[in-house]
A and B are shown apart, each in its own frame.
Chain A
Amino acid sequence: MSANKGASVVVIGGGVTGLSTAFWLAEAGVDVLVLERGIVGWEASGRNGGGCSHHHSPLFAEEQRLWPMMDQLLGYPTEFVPNRIRIALSPDQYTLYGRAVVNARKQGFHADELDPQQVRDLVPLAGDNVFAGHYYHFGGHANPHRTVQAYAWAIRDRGGRVKQHVTVTGFQRAGDRVTAVETDQGSFGCDHLVIAAGPQTSRLAALLEVDIPMRAARAEMIVTEPLPLMPLGGIDGNGLYGRQTLRGNLAYGGGPHEWVETEDLPGGPRPSTPLSGSIAKRLAQLLPKAAHARVIRSWGGIIENTPDGRPVLDRPAPWANLTAGSLSGVGFGLSPASGRALAQLVTDGACDFADLSSLRLDRFSQLEPNWAELQGWLPGGLATV
């Protein structure tokens, strides 16, 4: 037996998905414990672009509703800033970016078309190469580090617990219930279990004979030294996502990813590669007046991906007290809404503000067993010269 104090709900994973879920549970007065194998936000949740514009998702409306209130709700800054300007340097890019606008408008959100001069007026670092742009009156961006910690502090302030440096290794069960999680530091009893372990979600769910098809990939970003603030920081385009931070740094990513094997142990390297040069090149094209800015860091993060690249938010059968949440690479921006949805799945078994049917696990019931191979998602590992 373990001397550990369990909780009514145990959440595995101190990334934005698990933390937001725990925040909403704690907010509702539920006794919640988050177990994180490293420090909070050490994985993708602390390494992403901070973008909050997921126009394709059933959680979009809630994402847009919640972000402007998150600082207030959590009691700590997230550095959320609304709106975004997307710059196209070519007609092709403009067509591509225009489709996102169509989706958003369909859901009642607004966007303006911008001509090159309007772009340059709004984006002082833009140059003569602008083809056109869009101004989104929705979306925006926040600071991932600050947001992660804000969730963690808000959980603490509401009586919830976040335990770091605890690795979940297995489960105890009784009939159709998970009764405890086993960790490298003993077991923790639970009435309900939430698995929100990013790329590890699939491996952990498999221990409960639940099949969540997933593969992990690495993506990279670069950041420059601070530059004078532009009127709006949410500037991207030219095949890049990212933002100017409130401090003034340009933080951008985009381009090829690499399929990798996720390793079991925490703290391993999260390498970045010479792709940083390719991102730098495109950033200098997007914002030519920043070409002199120095790149001072790059980083890589490991991303959870389901076969269609869409989240899984579900209560997998046959378990009576299990909830699984994997955001499939779009998890930061959606986190206020995904956590709220997952918290409702835990307490009510259903979400009352969004239609989650397209995010259910059984959409994969007819999936080809060798889907990863068919999609070319197996780690290449084959160095090319």
Chain B
Amino acid sequence: MTIDPRSVTGKRLEIAHHIQVLVIGAGPAGISAARRAHQGGADVMLVDENPVPFDVMGESVPQIWGGRMGGQVRNRNAMTERMLEARPDLVELFELGVDVRLGTACWGLFSNQPNLGWMPGLVAGLIDDEQGSYHVRADQIIVATGRRDMGLAFPGWDLPGVLGASAAATLAGLYGAFDGKRAVILGSGPEALLAAQDLMAAGVQITAVVEQAASPLAPQLAAGLQAHGVEIICGQAPRGVNSDAGGVTGLILRDRQIDCDSVLLGVGAVPMIDLLQAAGARCGFDNDRSGFVPTLDKGLQTTLAGIRAAGDCAGIWAAKSADPALARSEGEAAANAALAAIGLSKHAPADLATPPHAPDMGRYRKDWVRATVVEALAEMPVCQCEEVTAREILEVRPPRYLKMPPVANETRSLTQILGDGPPDPDQVKRLTRAGMGPCQGRRCREQIQALLALQEDLALGAVPLAGYRSPVRPMTLTAATAPEDPAIAEIWDSWFGMPRQWVPFWDVEPKYTVAALATEKEHVSE
């Protein structure tokens, strides 16, 4: 068979390790998955991006850290030790001989599928401080990447001190490095209030819970907090912040101000599906699982064979947030299915807890965005990286740096602007740049979804997901440079390297045949 020398056919992907089971994320689900897979006899690697390098945290990756990382976060060794203290079950895995890699981020998963066929199997791109980027191959991959917080714009939300509720809980709990003392939390759902509890246990004072709805979403948890002196303020949304050089010093509501050094975004806990969706796994909107989640079978397998999801990235609901045992059992179930798939055990798929029917989460998120973003009294960026406001998003305005006169979209509906079909956040992103920056849309994605749904009066889930692309963690060009098959360098061309593509039109044969290629013409590269 002839091989096109300049195609990937026959090129080797440099693989640093080949393991049986790769687990990504060392939270309750990931740790349980790794333990179970190891016990089942598999050769296991467990990676976790924490401790995240300080400069990467500065880009709001993978959480909205809001500049409240304590200085000790710069000391990576201390952070690693601290992490192990916080997660004794991780130490146990180390001792069992599992290849545990902390400070190692997975930036991409690759699996053969329509339009891609040259992967040698399931491949994960990993990166750490010492080695930079490298590839590992795994027979089974369990993604347990957890959750992140939905961003919510209000004037001042780009200042240090506005951070995600789960981000704050991670800083306080895992890193022991939360640089805040008095916090107000926005949102009163179970995820927000459980984070508030954790923070209080870690010594952070939670002054108030602010909720735009008329009553708290999780009344029992709210009552519990109230008993501990937390004020529950309903029917209010942030209007701005007070600040000094160190960031937030207070939160401004309609008719009052609250002293605080941190405002915690707790209006939505979002399954962290970036790796899965970028890999090509099908994801759909599920109200009861808190947003877009991967479509899974009984063995928690995504639509990509051998890639499974467990824990929060497979769906978040109140009972699961309250009790890590649910995530653990998902991790174990995924590991059992992985073991079965590689012939190491025979387990019937477990019956896993499924979420009860939840109140309309889409409506709740839209209400928050209306009360806070749409009704804001000043213009502020919804996309912080590219500084795009809600108005600019909804009018699909060309970015400011083009210095163009307005495109007369003020009076048009989004359908008139974007064409038939539900407004597509990717199309909006391409035209306004909202979501295109270094934080990779982590801070604005769900807000933009809600804004578009509000504007067109659609259910939240009717607005398509803005796609994720690898690398789902930003990395420098130097670090991104991974080992490469020398055969790739030998045939490298800027385009396809076809023998006749760039021959000037006055010099090509009147009839094209493959046989005629025997006569060489000077190859021009694009």
- Report how far A55 CA is from B502 CA in the complex, Å: 8
Cβ contacts A367-385/B at 8 Å (1 or 0 each): 1100101111111111111
Identity of the chain A residue whose Cβ is nearest the Cβ of B429 in the assembled complex: A145
Q: In the complex, which residues 325-380 of chain A have their Cβ closer than 8 Å to any Cβ of chain B?
A: 328-330, 355, 358, 363-368, 371, 373-380
Tell whether, in the assembled complex, residue A273 and residue B480 are in contact, meaning their CB atoms are under 8 Å apart.
Answer: no
Q: Range of interface residues on chain A?
A: 35 or more
Tell whether, in the assembled complex, residue B508 and residue A358 are in contact, meaning their CB atoms are under 8 Å apart.
Answer: yes
Chain B residues near A363 (CB-CB < 8 A): 509-512
Tell whether, in the assembled complex, residue B113 and residue A269 are in contact, meaning their CB atoms are under 8 Å apart.
Answer: yes
Identity of the chain A residue whose Cβ is nearest the Cβ of B114 in the assembled complex: A263
Q: Range of interface residues on chain B?
A: 35 or more
- Min CB–CB distance B35 → chain A (angstroms): 29
Tell whether, in the assembled complex, residue A294 and residue B438 are in contact, meaning their CB atoms are under 8 Å apart.
Answer: yes
- Min CB–CB distance A94 → chain B (angstroms): 11
Q: Does B217 contact A (CB under 8 A)?
A: no
Tell whether, in the assembled complex, residue B4 and residue A368 are in contact, meaning their CB atoms are under 8 Å apart.
Answer: no
**Which of A116-124, A160-168, A173-181, A204-212 binds B?**
A160-168
Given B115, B438, B515, B525, which contacts A225 in the complex, CB threshold below 8 Å?
Answer: B438
- Report how far A320 CA is from B370 CA in the complex, Å: 55
**Which of B43-51, B74-82, B414-422 binds A?**
B414-422
Identity of the chain A residue whose Cβ is nearest the Cβ of B3 in the assembled complex: A376
Identity of the chain A residue whose Cβ is nearest the Cβ of B279 in the assembled complex: A271
Identity of the chain B residue whose Cβ is nearest the Cβ of A14 in the assembled complex: B419
**Knowing A77-B404, A165-B421, A295-B471 touch, does A384 contact B120 (C-beta < 8 A)?**
yes
- Report how far A256 CA is from B133 CA in the complex, Å: 20
- Report how far A153 CA is from B470 CA in the complex, Å: 31
Tell whether, in the assembled complex, residue A258 and residue B494 are in contact, meaning their CB atoms are under 8 Å apart.
Answer: no
Q: Does B484 contact A (CB under 8 A)?
A: yes
Q: In the complex, which residues 263-293 of chain A have their Cβ closer than 8 Å to any Cβ of chain B?
A: 263, 268-278, 280-284, 290-293
Tell whether, in the assembled complex, residue B493 and residue A374 are in contact, meaning their CB atoms are under 8 Å apart.
Answer: no
Chain A residues near B377 (CB-CB < 8 A): none
- Report how far A330 CA is from B500 CA in the complex, Å: 13
B residues sitting closer than 8 Å to A (CB atoms) are 1-13, 59, 108, 110, 112-121, 123, 125, 133, 135, 279-280, 386, 398-399, 401-402, 404, 407, 418-421, 424, 426-427, 430-431, 433, 436-438, 440, 469-471, 474-478, 480-482, 484, 488, 491-496, 498, 500-505, 508-515, 522-526
Known: A56-B524, A273-B110, A274-B482. 13 other contacts (CB 8 A): A77-B404, A96-B525, A218-B116, A239-B492, A256-B6, A258-B117, A274-B123, A277-B484, A294-B438, A294-B477, A305-B496, A373-B1, A381-B112
Pick 22 A–B contacts, CB within 8 A, sort by A: A149-B431, A162-B419, A164-B419, A218-B116, A254-B493, A255-B492, A256-B8, A257-B6, A260-B116, A272-B470, A274-B110, A277-B482, A280-B477, A281-B484, A292-B476, A295-B474, A305-B498, A363-B510, A376-B3, A382-B117, A383-B119, A384-B120
A residues sitting closer than 8 Å to B (CB atoms) are 39-41, 46, 51, 55-58, 76-77, 79, 96-97, 99-100, 103, 106, 145-146, 149, 152-153, 162-166, 217-219, 222, 224-226, 236, 239-241, 246-247, 254-263, 268-278, 280-284, 290-300, 302, 305, 307-310, 328-330, 355, 358, 363-368, 371, 373-385
